[in-house]
Chain A
Amino acid sequence: MHTFFLISSYVIIAYMLFSSLSYVGLFLLAFRKVKKEDNLDQKESTEDLLKNQTTYPVSILVPAYNEEIGVVSTVRSLLALEYPKKEVIVIDDGSKDDTAARMIEAFKMTKIPFAVRTHIQTAEVEAIYQSATFPFIRLIQKANGGKADALNAGINLSKFPYFCAIDGDSILENDGLVKTMKPIIESDGQIIATGGSVRIANGSTISRSKVEKIDLPKQPLVLMQIVEYFRAFLIGRLALSQLNILLIVSGAFGVFNKERVIQAGGYNKHTVGEDMELVVRLHRLLKEEKSDQRIEYIPDPVCWTEAPESLEVLRSQRLRWQRGLFETLWTHKKMMLNPRYGAIGLFSMPYFLMVELLGAVFEFFGYAIIFGGLFFSLVDPNVALVLFIVTIFYGSFISALAVLLEEMTLHKYPKVSHLVRLYLWALTEAFWYRPLVVLWRIQGIFISFQKKANWGDMKRKGISS
């Protein structure tokens, strides 16, 4: 038994060191691109696209379920978006609250008949409304079918060749859409999907649907999520995007080529991780067609979202994420280690399996062995100590590094005190936040075997005044 735990300790140590080094390696890969664009005048670089009639028009899809608090401000923020031609489609997925009523009242909407193209089958569309004030805003009222089904209904109604999916509780920066469309336009359609960084809005001042002042929240739980987002977006996604093996475009905000999504079959209604599943399916389509088209991630923070402030809601979110990841990897298990799918099959899929999904299992055993080794002589205390150091390295040091890297590249938080606070909180991650998340992620793997999908229960306060 003792030998078993000793060997397990070595395996976990090796795993954590390997994962940490992979994080560092991935960042180094992405660093050059972020640094290259660091001082680029973003306004100048997108100015021309805003004036061009040839800039592709975009349909903005806002799936909403019980979003009565945030939906109107989200749509208002979309009205303020600088973009030459757009339409906004809110999809009320059978909300039990007044989501539709708030929309109808705020934008003076009336019911219209509409000949919808059914590219993708969805739950029954009950009514379509159009705003009298802004005719390009429409609302679909439909039977509940989940977020993926709501997005599919939006795709069916949309009329433009690209669509942008944005969560009902998120605020997009004024130039967010044009920045995200820029790579698509400049690649002449070679890029079929783009995702931008999502930032946590808690603590910042968002007034009239515009980010007025960037600040940090007071709650440690939210601060840790900010650090976590740095780690995920800056370290992971950017490098994977560089290699064209990015498997996630955040559900909170992403732009897609509609035709390609329809070819891929639309969003999958049978998973809670519909955002990731779609991206994997698009990659699969591209690889099977031997297409040169790409999926890209842009490092600029373009979308602000409300992070959970309570343990209960955070837990529910993490269970959903983990389950979504599991379902996606399971659905596309055929791609795993399959040379036919190139780097996606040989690197990206195994990476997501070992680091993103099963990482929690390794970490859990790591914490258990440290505890058992230091207090119950389960393993040699020296081995437990090494494991403890490696766990801190993996949990806290890498996160602290992500904070420093954000400062080296994007430096979006304006004050020195922001940097120091985030850094110090990141150092605490391995001692309280990470064990919590690890537990939830393990629980998430177990509940993946249950089949019931839902929207998740996020208690909104609203992020815009």
Chain B
Amino acid sequence: MTINHIWMFSAFLFISQLVLLVILAFRKHRLSAKEQTISNQYESLTDSFSSYMMDPEDDRFIHEISGITHQTIVLERLLNGYVSITKGSITSPLVARLSEDFLTETYTKQLAHSNWAMRMNTLYFIEDFHMQSLIPQLKEKLRNTTRLDQETQQLIRTLASLNESDTLLELAQFPSAPVRLYQDVFKRLEEPVMFEQLGAVLDDKNHPTALREAAISYIGTAGLTRFLPQIEDELQSPVEEIRIQALKAISHLHYLSEPNLLTPFFHSSAWQERMFASQIAGRLQLSRFKEMLGELMGDSVWWVRYSSAEALVQFSDGDILLDHLSVNHPDRYARDMATQWKSSLLGSEE
């Protein structure tokens, strides 16, 4: 290879870069112009859209949206803005109607598009706009899926948001289905269906552990006290993780029909059980466990010491108890913890 060849090759690379630069600059300019047009169309339709959402009789918006070039994007932005500003409007019949009238055909095509990001965005919007008409296509898509990847996970969430009760069973087909995804499904189902599904999961011990954990955890976070008896039953479960979730749920529910159910957990070999038992004793102000809490302040695990001290603070005489323990507890770490808690409450953003 001579020096001339090298120069020519370098010139070729440089020119290629310049061509790419010109193409990218042109693309940038074009995208910027497109974005400007979309913004203008969005601005021009905001008033008529607001009027329509307040009074559907005023149908100027329907005529205007039909005649614009970037109908899908503008409508998505308007509806998305409306859904996020007006909390709870997710089931707004107007949002559903507009999206079904103008977006169903486009979204049906987009669900099968080769671009992953486009399919994902479509799934997000179907969920946000509550588009029932697309349930058959979504179910079909789920049937043809064998991997629980990011897209399938969103597909499951979207179907659950459309209140499809079969979603849980479909999800349970995937052995690797994580607890958080089951929780996402429970969170999206509407009440009668959700209660029915939770009951069914708790009644059948053969369901995957992740599903049962998710059900128990969801009951706690959602404060569904109607399931308290089943949750209390789960305290006897042979599976440690289920017992921990049951304790956590009781801690959230702030209720326990029989406080003695808690007693064995103060001596558990699992520190999480000791920690949650302490938390529950504090939250429910179960004074019979005060002495036990004092003992657990000298536990070998920091979190148990922390939760016991936090629990003592909840009692009316908590300050006095902590004051006493900060001086007299035989364990140095327990004394430190008592000092911390008697002086201030640890904050975190709730």
B-binding residues in A (CB < 8 A): 36-41, 44-45, 47-48, 52-54, 57, 85-87, 112-115, 117, 130-131, 134-136, 159-160, 185-186, 188, 382, 385-386, 389, 392-393, 397, 400-401, 404, 407-408, 411, 414-416, 419-420, 423
Contacts and interface: CB of A to CB of B under 8 A. Distances in A.
A44 B121 contact: yes
B155 interface: no
Interface in B165-184: 178-180, 183-184
Contacts of A36: 116-117
A416 B32 CA distance: 9
Interface stretch (B19-27, B97-105, B133-141, B191-199): B19-27
Interface residues of B, number: 50
Interface stretch (B2-10, B230-238, B257-265): B2-10
B24 A407 contact: yes
Given A186-B150, A385-B3, A386-B3, A397 B14 contact: yes
Contacts of B20: 404
A416 B348 contact: no
B337 interface: yes
B157 A48 contact: yes
A87 B120 contact: no
B349 interface: yes
A39 B119 CA distance: 10
B251 to A, nearest CB: 13
A45 B124 contact: yes
A416 B28 contact: yes
Given A54-B183, A85-B350, A416 B120 contact: no
A57 B348 contact: yes
A401 B17 contact: yes
B3 A136 contact: no
Contacts of A40: 116-117, 120-121
Interface of B: 3, 6-7, 10, 13-14, 17, 20-21, 24-25, 28-29, 32, 115-118, 120-121, 124-125, 128, 150, 153, 157, 178-180, 183-184, 187, 217, 221, 302, 305-306, 333, 336-337, 339-340, 343-350
Given A41-B124, A113-B339, A159 B348 contact: yes
B339 A115 contact: yes
Given A188-B180, A419-B24, A420-B21, A130 B117 contact: no
Closest 3 CB pairs of A and B: A135-B347, A44-B124, A115-B336
A419 B25 contact: yes
A115 B333 contact: yes
Given A44-B128, A159-B346, A416-B28, A397 B120 contact: no
A-side binding surface: helix, strand, loop or mixed? mixed
A134 B347 CA distance: 8
A159 B337 CA distance: 14
Nearest to B128: A44
B-side binding surface: helix, strand, loop or mixed? helix
Contact of A397 (B17, B115, B344, B350): B17
Contacts of A112: 340, 343-344
Contacts of A416: 25, 28-29, 32
A38 B348 CA distance: 35
13 contacts: A38-B117, A40-B120, A41-B120, A44-B125, A54-B221, A113-B344, A188-B180, A389-B6, A397-B13, A404-B17, A415-B28, A416-B29, A423-B21
A45 B221 contact: no
A45 B336 CA distance: 43
B84 to A, nearest CB: 8
A431 to B, nearest CB: 15
A41 B154 CA distance: 13
A389 B344 contact: no
Contacts of A135: 345-348
B348 A411 contact: no
Given A52-B183, A386-B6, 6 more contacts: A39-B121, A54-B217, A113-B339, A115-B337, A136-B348, A404-B20
Contacts of A115: 305-306, 333, 336-337, 339-340
A86 B349 contact: yes
B296 to A, nearest CB: 14
A361 B117 CA distance: 43
Contacts of A39: 115, 117-118, 121
Given A36-B116, A36-B117, A404-B20, A53 B348 contact: no
Nearest to A117: B302
Contacts of A404: 17, 20-21, 24
A49 to B, nearest CB: 10
Nearest to B180: A54
Contacts of A114: 340
B110 to A, nearest CB: 11
B70 to A, nearest CB: 15
Contacts of B178: 188
A408 to B, nearest CB: 7
Contact of B32 (A86, A131, A160, A414): A414
A117 B300 CA distance: 12
Nearest to B347: A135
A41 B29 contact: no
Contact of B348 (A87, A113, A419): A87
Contacts of B128: 44
A350 B128 CA distance: 49
Nearest to B222: A53
Contacts of A45: 120, 124
B156 to A, nearest CB: 12
B184 A48 contact: yes
A386 B187 CA distance: 65
Contacts of A419: 21, 24-25, 28
Contacts of A393: 10, 13
B150 to A, nearest CB: 7
A420 B26 CA distance: 11
A392 B6 CA distance: 13
A364 to B, nearest CB: 22
A52 to B, nearest CB: 8
A159 B118 CA distance: 39
